[in-house]
Structure 1
Amino acid sequence: MKAFGKILGLVLLGLLLIIVAAGFALTHLFDPNDYKDEIRQIARDKAHIELTLNGDIGWSLFPWLGLELHEASVATLAKPAEPFADLQMLGLSVRVLPLLRREVQMSDVRVEGLNLRLNRDKNGHGNWEDIGKVPVAPGETAPATPAAAASEPTVAVEKPAQPIRLDIDSLTVNNARVAYTDELTGKQFSAESIQLSTGPVHDSTNIPVKATAFLGTNQPVLRVRTELSGELRFERALQRYKFEDLKLSGELAGDPLQGKTMTFSAQGQLLLDKAANVAEWTGIKISANQLRALGELKANDLDKTPQISGGISIAQFDLAKFVDSIGQTLPKMGEGSLSKVELVSRVAATPTSLSFDNINLKLDDSSFSGRIAIEDFAKQSLRAILKADTFNVDRYLPPKSAQANSATQTRQAEVANTEAGAVAGTTPLPDKPSKTAWSTERLLPVERLAKLDVDADLTFGQLTLDKLPIQNAALKATGQGGLLTLTNLSGDLYNGGFVANGTLDVRPSAPVLNLQTRLNRVPAEKIIESQGKNPPVKGLVTLTSTVTGSGNSQQALIDTLNGNASFVINNGVLLNANLEQQLCKGIATLNRKTLSGEPRGRDTPFEELKGNLTVRNGVASNPDLKVRIPGMTVNGDGDIDLRVLGMDYRVGIIVEGDTSAMPDPACQVGDKFVGIEWPLRCRGPLELGAKACRIDNDRLGQVASKLAGNKLSEKIDEKLGDKVSPELKDALKGLFKR
């Protein structure tokens, strides 16, 4: 037995030596380069590709089945002269014996100079679609797959074979390039200088991966430098794939960044579970210049409509500087706007929608909470429910243009010149201003508003709008199909309140505004002072109005303004306007006396000022102005020209009796002046208010005639007594009053 075992061992050793010798002879005596034509023909017949081998083929047989290809290219049979891929060198080796066990054990796989060109022609056909296909000659049809004969017996389905096990020492790709061109759109994408290296590649083990590349597009022109590293793990039996400790970084430059560069990075853990149709990105860390964010995302139902959920947290950063750093420009705002932005929110998304729930947003000095959602990307359906503690709208609005500032300065100069001598009432009656008071600049982004689909519900603890400090402000608005509806705009203002609603229709060529407002006991002087103007009146104003206008500028809206309004001002004061002094001047004129001193007061207090307005094309007619002042009543009839912010009123002051001493002996009110309507004319800039009022000398003569007629009537009564009939007396009195 011992001898037999020795002989058997010698036989096996001899066979092994023979195999090694045969392999050596085969690999050294057989040169595959002599069979390039046969190899190309096999590639045509079996793989249906055009293989070109310009370089040498190196190979080994045992124990490694090794292969090296140099200067090779691949094309489709449809276009054999247009290779879609070529490479400088491909080197790989496979152990022979493990192949018999359906195991692939490979040494290092190296790819040098791979160049992959993908092209979609003007008909939408991609050159990769012809890979492995036999070209069809003109006039022929592609061969149909023969149908299985009905009489054939049913073939038993075999159990699927076990998957092939992969075992690769490493994979290295150097200086590879992938280019894609779409001839229909002219778009081009490229990935150049691709470098890829991995550690040992095994199923269910972590595989170190490192890659770099330069990416680019031509529409728009963009260039991206990228670096990727991490550990890849695939579990094919469970259909689970992981990329752990992902680190992606790089730089982005191109036309959209206007010469600026954005440095970016992303980290986290990626998971794809195809069996459960779930994908996750956890431990997210993202940075882009000054922006820093953390979060996690999960996608479900990958086989249906993916549903994404997760959370995001953006650390405080300067949004204005960030936008500038990526070459973009924000609308002009106040100094320091958008310098402190911070966000924490839950995120939900589908391929057609995106929502941010449980928002905690800090914007400069304001804090917001609530929800913002785009329900349909195609329709730009925006939904917002937000609550803020405080928000100053003015700091985010664009500053006034040079044209608007120039108009404001011109108007202020006009008012100042007119106001210089108005308080004492000694200057001539000022003319109505002729300068335009409103901007002609485009007011509304009509094209954007026409596409808007919005439903907003906003509340603010304090809202600053046009310098007005509004408490408990609320805004509800909707917009769809070019029709924007303001359901409610309300708030508390200086211990008063206001509410407004209306519509804005941007579907016509000239947008149409319809607005209803109500102010309730709001201090008039506070509203005017907030606009940087000196108020002509103080008091609590209650106003109800319904107006319409059309156009896309301030001036156009005012020029087409129509509607109605009613107003009441209680417990007020006409500032820097002494109507009593004007009345005194008129009485002194009729008494043929001279005032002995300057006015003792600058203001005129009143109990109530009210009236109704009818607006027609920017001009508000006020036929029933009434002012109740202790001891007198003031009636007015005139127009307010909103187009130039000017007024023209005829005012009558009726003395009710000597309820208070007049400011000057020359104008003491006697019984003969009681009930007489003393005429004033108020004309000039609206800002002057009652300071633009003067005695109307033209109508003062009518008062004098009336007083003279009354005096003659008294003399007739004295002379005639009861000697004539009452009818004759009345006729004589009427004669003298004509």
Structure 2
Amino acid sequence: MKAFGKILGLVLLGLLLIIVALGFALTHLFDPNDYKDEIRQIARDKAHIELTLNGDIGWSLFPWLGLELHEASVATLTNPTQPFADLQMLGLSVRVLPLLRREVQMSDVRVEGLNLRLNKDVHGHGNWEDIGKNAPVAGTTPEVPAVTDPATPPKPEKPPQPIRLDIDSLTINNARVEYNDEQTGKQFSAESIQLSAGAIHDGASIPLKLTAFFGTNQPLMRVKTELNGNLRIQRALKRYQLEDMKITGEATGEPLQGKTMTFATQGQLLVDLAANIAEWTGLKLSANQLRALGELKVNDLDKTPQISGALSIAQFDLAKFLDSVGHTLPAMAPGSLSKVEMVSRLTGTPTSLALEDLNLKLDGSTFTGRIAVDDFAKQSLRLQLKADTFNADNYLPAKSEAANSAAVARQAEVQSSEAGAMAAGGNSPLPDAPTKGAWSTDKLLPLTRLRTLDVNADLAFDQLILSKLPIQNAALKASGLDGQLKLDTLSGGLYNGTFQANGNLDVRQDIPVLALQTHIKQVPVERILQAQGKNPPIKGQVTLDSNLSGRGNSQKALIDSLNGSASFVITNGVLLNANIEQQLCTGIALLNRKTLSSEPKGKDTPFQELKGNLTFRNGVASNPDLKVRIPGLTVNGNGDVDLRVLGMDYRVGIIVEGDKRDMPDPACQVGSNFQGIEVPLRCRGPLELGAKACRLDKDGLSQVALKAAGNKISEKLEEKLDKVNPQLKDALKGLFKR
């Protein structure tokens, strides 16, 4: 028995020596390079690919089945002359005995110079779609699958046992992946790919490092990036984790206008295909000056993924950030967009995103509510926000140099006319009609952007400052689609009065069309003018209704084409720095052939009501029914307001009632001959002068004298003419010589 055991041991040792000898002989005496044609044929028959082996094949048999390929390429059988992948070298080795247990135990796997080319042709067919397909044979018809007997259902196949994967390390050097879409002309690439992974074991933490350069041609963009982390694969549970992930890099290209954006992000990633969820926790993100924290979760990976999470952005200078990524903003008020921070809850899908429970701080203003993009492709923007105080003027583009120069020239014209009127106390000649344009030719609207706008906005403000007007409890509802924008309402309180507007803007054509309706009720008119930086010529509570339309993309174009109608009433007002009583008494004294004993002390003219209707035609407003109620006076007028130059030209008639004070000026008393007579005034000049541009109309005064004299003038004309003021005498003589 003992001898048998010894003999058996010798036999086993001999067999082992024979196996080792055979392995040595196979690896040293058998050269796989002699069988390249057979290997290529096996690749065609079994894998349905065209394998080209230009380099040598190195191999080992035991205890490692080693393989090393050089200068190899792979193509599909449908297009064998155009490889979709090639590599300089592939080296790997597998333990032989574990293969019998369906275990893959590899040492180092190394890939050098891999090039992968994915191409979609003009018909939308990708070359990767043919991988594994047999080559088409001309004149053959596709095989018809055999029909099975429905009474005998096929036996279900047993699911294959999962292969256990065990790799000591994986290294990929200098790889490149290229994607080309001939339909759209778009190209994507990943170059200089360097991948290194530690020991790869199922369920174990795998150290991972990846660097690459990514690029696109539409738009032209290049991104350098590096990824580090620990990968954990649990194939039986369909669970994949990237722990302690960190991605850093730099991006440059056309969207950044040649500038560079440095970015970094980190966190913990989890994909659980069994539960159909993905999570990104501990999210940290930075991009130049921007810093953010948050978390993301995606449910229903097998259906339409549903996104949820939270995002917090620390305070940063948005204007500087946008400038650093190549998006310089128009000139704004100093400090605008310098303090921006946000906290929000996220919801969305692959085609939409919503910021719910939003709290946005913007330069001292706080917005709460919701911002959503319902469709990324259509850029469908939805806003539901409430703010405390917001100054919209700080975010409007500044005026151009040309607009500023025009404004300075017009202001000089107004000041010259005003100085002349004040110096002469209202006795100077009528101011000249203004000629300087009052409006900018700068473009107002980005038409191309507005045509693509799909927006629905519902905004509320405790206070909205717009055109320097503080609108209290402002509400704004607006929408836009396919180049047609609608202002449903802009309303609020204004200086203890109310303001409301609505309208439409059509930007489908090169010349936009604007229609606007406004209603202002009991708003101090002087406060509106003061807010615009103008010295008000009038005070009072204005109520205004207007329905106007215009065409163009500048202030000047809109005003030049302004058409429509308006009605206005100003109550409990004052004509500032304009004493109508002085003008009236001067006219009465002239008719009485007397001289005023003193100048009226007051410099303003209070009135009870000023009202009228306006008809706009190409920027000129006709006002045929101006009426002013002043205690003791009745005033009627008609004229035009030329909005193109902000000028006016009016003829005003004042019904004479005389000096109603307790101690009237004798020269200003109305005799029986002048009862009910209108004293004429002419008002011409810049609109800002108001009543300061009014003068006694001496041409019209001669008509008054004629009416007062009645039929007696024809009998005693010469006698009266000898006694009246010489100026009036000349006017009357001229009248009767006509």
Which residue does 1:60 correspond to in 2?
A: 60
Q: 1:371: how far off?
A: 0.8
What residue in structure 2 maps to residue 722 of structure 1? none
Q: Distance in 2 between matches of 1:635 and 1:293?
A: 67
User: Which residue does 1:106 correspond to in 2?
Assistant: 106
Q: Which amino acid aligns with 2:25?
A: A
1:535 partner SS: coil
2:664 & 2:558 partners in 1: Cα distance?
A: 46
Q: Structure 1 residue 156 and structure 2 residue 159: aligned?
A: no
Is the CA contact (8 Å cut-off) linking 2:657 and 2:670 kept in structure 1? no
Distance 1:371 1:8, change over 3 A: same
Q: Residue 341 of structure 1 corresponds to which residue in structure 2?
A: 340
Aligned to 1:212: 211
In structure 2, C-alpha distance between the alignment counterparts of 1:452 and 1:95, rounded to whole Å: 63
Amino acid at match of 2:692: K
Hey, what does 1:17 align to over in structure 2? 17
State the distance in 2 between where 1:469 and 1:614 align.
29
With the length of structure 1 as denominator, give the TM-score of the two structures.
Answer: 0.91
C-alpha deviation, 1:705, in angstroms: 2.0
User: Structure 1 stretch 569-578 or stretch 509-518: which is displaced more?
Assistant: 509-518
Residue 661 of structure 1 deviates from its aligned partner by 6.1
Supply the distance in 1 between the matched residues of 2:517 and 2:160 (Cα, whole angstroms).
77
CA contact (8 A) 1:661 1:668 kept: no
- Report how far residue 537 of structure 1 moved: 0.4
**Following the alignment from structure 1 to structure 2, what is the Cα–Cα distance between the partners of residues 529 and 682?**
22
Distance 1:474 1:368 in 2: 14
Counterparts of 1:376 and 1:218, CA distance in 2: 25
Name 2:690's counterpart in structure 1: 689
Q: Higher mean Cα deviation, 520-529 or 445-454? A: 445-454
Paired with 1:361 and 1:346, the residues of 2 have a C-alpha distance of 12
Q: Could you tell me whether the CA contact under 8 Å between 2:540 and 2:574 is conserved in 1?
A: yes
- Tell me the alpha carbon deviations over residues 280-320 of structure 1, each in whole angstroms, 9 at most, x when there is no partner: 21211111111111111111222221111111111111111
Per the alignment, residue 236 of structure 1 pairs with: 235
Structure 2 counterpart of 1:354: 353
Q: Which amino acid aligns with 1:494?
A: Y
The 8 Å contact of residues 352 and 375 in structure 1, kept in 2 or not, is answered as yes
**Conserved? CA contact 1:104–1:165, under 8 Å:** yes
Q: Which amino acid aligns with 1:575?
A: L
Shifted more, 418-427 versus 594-603: the winner is 594-603
Counterpart check, 1:548 vs 2:549 = yes
Greater mean deviation of Cα atoms: 648-657 or 676-685? 648-657
1:519 positional shift:
1.5
Indicate the larger mover: 441-450 or 249-258. 441-450
For residues 43-65 of structure 1, give each alpha carbon's deviation from its aligned partner in whole angstroms, at most 9, with x where no partner exists: 23332333232332222111111
Letter in 2 for 1:396: Y
| 1:176 equivalenced with 2:180 (yes/no) | no
Q: 1:440/1:206 Cα in 2 relative to 1: closer, same or farther (>3 Å)?
A: same
Match of 1:493 in 2: 494
Match of 1:725 in 2: none
Q: Does the Cα contact within 8 Å between 1:111 and 1:173 map onto a contact in 2?
A: yes
**2:210 counterpart SS class:** strand
Root mean square deviation of aligned Cα: 2.7
> Partner residue of 2:726?
none
Instruction: Give the C-alpha shift of residue 399 in structure 1.
Output: 1.1
Name the CA distance, whole Å, in 2 between partners of 1:485 and 1:186.
Answer: 38
SS in 2 for 1:644: coil
Hey, what does 1:40 align to over in structure 2?
40
> Quick check: 1:581–1:663 contact (8 Å CA) kept in 2?
no
Give the Å deviation of 1:228.
0.7
Number of the residue aligned with 1:719? none
* Structure 2 CA distance for aligned equivalents of residues 67 and 702 of structure 1: 120
Structure 1 residues 225 and 712, CA, compared in 2 at 3 Å: closer, same or farther? Answer: closer
The answer (yes or no) to whether the contact 2:658–2:668 under 8 Å persists in 1 is no
Tell me, yes or no, if structure 1 residue 86 matches structure 2 residue 86: yes
Bigger drift between 617-626 and 536-545 goes to 617-626
User: CA contact under 8 A between 2:194 and 2:210: conserved in structure 1?
Assistant: yes
- SS of 1:422's equivalent? helix
Work out whether 1:115 is the aligned partner of 2:115: yes
Match of 1:276 in 2: 275
Q: Look up the equivalent residue of 2:131 and give its one-letter code.
A: I
- What 5-or-longer segments of structure 1 have no aligned partner? 716-735
Displacement of 1:390 = 0.7
Which is further off, 310-319 or 273-282? 273-282
Equivalent-residue separation in structure 2 for 1:23 and 1:450 (angstroms): 75
Which amino acid in 2 is paired with 1:67? L
Give the structure 2 partner of residue 95 of structure 1. 95
Give me the whole-angstrom Cα distance separating, in 2, the residues matched to 1:158 and 1:178: 37
The 5 A counterparts of 1:138-149 are 139-141=138-140, 143-144=142-143, 146-148=145-147
CA gap 1:448/1:206 in 2 versus in 1, 3 angstroms:
same
- 3-state SS in 2 of match to 1:637: strand
Deviations 1:238-271 (A, max 9, x none): 2111111111111111232222111111111111
- Partner Cα separation in structure 2 for residue 563 and residue 318 of structure 1: 44
Gaps of 5+ in 2: 717-735
Contact 2:330 2:398 in 1 (8 A): no
> Any idea what SS the aligned residue of 1:321 has?
helix
* Inter-partner Cα distance in structure 2 for 1:155 and 1:545: 81
Relative to structure 1, is the Cα distance of residues 130 and 455 closer, same or farther in structure 2, using a 3 angstrom cutoff? Answer: closer
Q: Does 1:515 find its partner at 2:516?
A: yes
Residue 588 of structure 2: SS of its match in structure 1? Answer: helix
Give yes or no for contact 1:496–1:522 (8 Å, CA) kept in 2: yes
Q: How many residues align?
A: 716
Q: CA deviation at 1:625?
A: 2.0
What do residues 540-570 of structure 1 show as CA deviations (whole Å, max 9, x unaligned)?
1122223333444333333333333222222
5 Å matches for 1:578-597?
Answer: 578-595=579-596
SS of equivalent residue, structure 2 residue 410:
helix
Q: Aligned partner of 2:203: which letter?
A: S
The CA deviation at 1:524 is 0.8
